[in-house]
Amino acid sequence: MMGTCRENEVCNIVHHRHWMPSTVDKVCRCPLNTPSCPVVHTRHGNVMNVNSRTQMKFCAPLRNLRPCRDGEIALRRKTLYQSYGVKNVSIVVDCLCDHRQSYWTFHNRSGEDFNDARHLFTVVQNYKCVAMKRCAAHEFCGYGRRDYGFIYHRCTCPMSHQCKFDLDEYEDDVSELFYQGPAYLARCVPIYDYDWW
């Protein structure tokens, strides 16, 4: 059952897919007497970007959060499991991570708590906000989701280059914030390599 959102807790995750309608993962309900959680990919509002195509939405503005320091734990994802599967998920941000200059990376798993009588256990996954470096030409620059087609960047490409993936080069299992599964390897390629005209 979906709970009521607390302060700085993600209420929705919106994936703005290429060539298809957006998808929304609902996490929690906004409190009574507040607007409902946004479901549209936007440039402004109660939002924090995971990458250029995925946004975390919030019930209220994130006014009390400061920018993240490089390598700081910025997000905690707490998952409550019951014997039949996931019972509840809570995602709380502790600072503002700018996706144009930083990326999210898994740090550690903590807070595992077991309750044998009720067949419950809790796992907390901590994610850091890490500053992006400059990539070299043809260097690995991120992972491309095979299902939605967008990239989780690891670095910024040099001038006149873009981060593109090739369908021949992939890994079977990568772990990103809000995604685990197969992904294409993206590399910084000169823009003219993809200019067919």
Q: How confident is the model at residue 86 (pLDDT cuts 50, 70, 90)?
A: confident
Report the distance separating Cα 12 and Cα 25, nearest Å: 6
193 pLDDT more than 70: no
CA dihedral 47, 49, 50, 56 (to 10 degrees): 10
Tens digits of residue pLDDT in 12-42: 999 998 778 889 999 999 999 889 999 999 9
196 pLDDT more than 50: no
Q: How confident is the model at residue 99 (pLDDT cuts 50, 70, 90)?
A: confident
- What residue spans define the domains of the chain? 10-129, 132-194
Q: How far is CA 127 from CA 72, 117, 149, in A?
A: 8, 30, 23
| pLDDT (0 to 100) of residue 197 | 43
92-96, 100-104, 147-151: which is most confident: 92-96
Q: What is the pTM of this model?
A: 0.85
| pLDDT (0 to 100) of residue 194 | 53
Pairing mode, strands 161-176 and 23-26: unpaired
For the domain spanning 132-194, the CATH number is 2.20.20
Average pLDDT over residues 55-73: 91
Q: Which is more confident, 193 or 138?
A: 138
Q: How far is CA 51 from CA 124, 176, 177, in A?
A: 22, 11, 10
